[in-house]
Amino acid sequence: MKVVEIFKTNVQNDIEADKLVNFLLELNPVYKINFDLEDEDKILRVEVNHLTIDTDKIIKKMIEGGYNCEKIE
Protein backbone atom coordinates (compact mmCIF):
# COMPACT_ATOMS: atom_id res chain seq x y z
CA MET A 1 0.00 0.00 0.00
CA LYS A 2 1.41 3.37 -1.03
CA VAL A 3 1.11 6.29 1.38
CA VAL A 4 1.51 9.86 0.08
CA GLU A 5 1.53 13.15 1.97
CA ILE A 6 1.56 16.59 0.32
CA PHE A 7 2.84 19.79 1.93
CA LYS A 8 2.81 23.49 1.01
CA THR A 9 6.26 25.10 1.40
CA ASN A 10 8.18 28.27 0.60
CA VAL A 11 11.16 26.55 -1.07
CA GLN A 12 12.29 28.77 -3.95
CA ASN A 13 14.76 26.85 -6.11
CA ASP A 14 16.20 23.47 -7.06
CA ILE A 15 19.35 23.97 -5.00
CA GLU A 16 17.30 24.44 -1.82
CA ALA A 17 15.04 21.53 -2.78
CA ASP A 18 17.97 19.15 -3.34
CA LYS A 19 19.48 20.03 0.04
CA LEU A 20 16.12 19.55 1.73
CA VAL A 21 15.55 16.14 0.17
CA ASN A 22 18.79 14.91 1.75
CA PHE A 23 17.93 16.68 5.02
CA LEU A 24 14.49 15.02 5.14
CA LEU A 25 15.83 11.58 4.22
CA GLU A 26 17.55 11.63 7.62
CA LEU A 27 14.07 11.05 9.09
CA ASN A 28 13.54 7.90 7.06
CA PRO A 29 15.80 6.85 4.17
CA VAL A 30 13.03 4.85 2.46
CA TYR A 31 10.90 7.95 1.84
CA LYS A 32 10.60 9.01 -1.78
CA ILE A 33 10.71 12.82 -1.65
CA ASN A 34 10.34 15.45 -4.35
CA PHE A 35 9.33 19.07 -4.82
CA ASP A 36 7.12 20.68 -7.45
CA LEU A 37 8.47 24.22 -7.44
CA GLU A 38 6.42 25.21 -10.49
CA ASP A 39 3.24 24.84 -8.44
CA GLU A 40 2.24 28.06 -6.66
CA ASP A 41 2.29 26.17 -3.32
CA LYS A 42 5.88 24.91 -3.88
CA ILE A 43 4.69 21.36 -3.18
CA LEU A 44 6.69 18.87 -1.15
CA ARG A 45 5.57 15.29 -1.86
CA VAL A 46 6.57 12.41 0.39
CA GLU A 47 5.75 8.83 -0.58
CA VAL A 48 6.44 5.49 1.08
CA ASN A 49 5.29 1.89 0.69
CA HIS A 50 3.86 -0.11 3.58
CA LEU A 51 4.71 2.46 6.27
CA THR A 52 3.20 5.58 7.74
CA ILE A 53 4.62 9.05 7.20
CA ASP A 54 5.30 11.09 10.31
CA THR A 55 3.98 14.43 9.07
CA ASP A 56 4.75 16.21 12.34
CA LYS A 57 8.43 15.28 12.10
CA ILE A 58 8.59 16.42 8.47
CA ILE A 59 7.04 19.78 9.33
CA LYS A 60 9.36 20.19 12.34
CA LYS A 61 12.43 19.31 10.23
CA MET A 62 11.44 21.82 7.53
CA ILE A 63 10.95 24.56 10.14
CA GLU A 64 14.35 23.67 11.67
CA GLY A 65 15.81 24.21 8.20
CA GLY A 66 14.25 27.68 8.06
CA TYR A 67 11.29 26.91 5.77
CA ASN A 68 7.52 27.12 6.06
CA CYS A 69 5.72 23.81 5.74
CA GLU A 70 2.09 22.85 6.20
CA LYS A 71 0.23 19.68 5.35
CA ILE A 72 -2.33 19.92 2.57
CA GLU A 73 -5.42 17.83 3.34
- Assess contact for 43 and 7: CB atoms under 8 A: yes
**Domain topology for 2-72:** Alpha-Beta Plaits (3.30.70)
What are the helix (H) ranges across 1-73? 14-25, 55-64
- Residue ranges per domain, the chain? 2-72
pLDDT of amino acid 15: 97
Considering only CA atoms, which of 67, 73, 40, 72 is closest in space to residue 24? 67
Long-range (24+ apart) CB contacts under 8 A made by 32-40 are 35/9, 35/11, 37/11, 37/12, 37/13
- In this prediction, residue 1 carries a pLDDT of 87
Average confidence (pLDDT) per 10 residues, the chain, 73 residues: 96 97 94 97 96 94 96 94
Full-model pTM:
0.94
pLDDT for position 51: 84
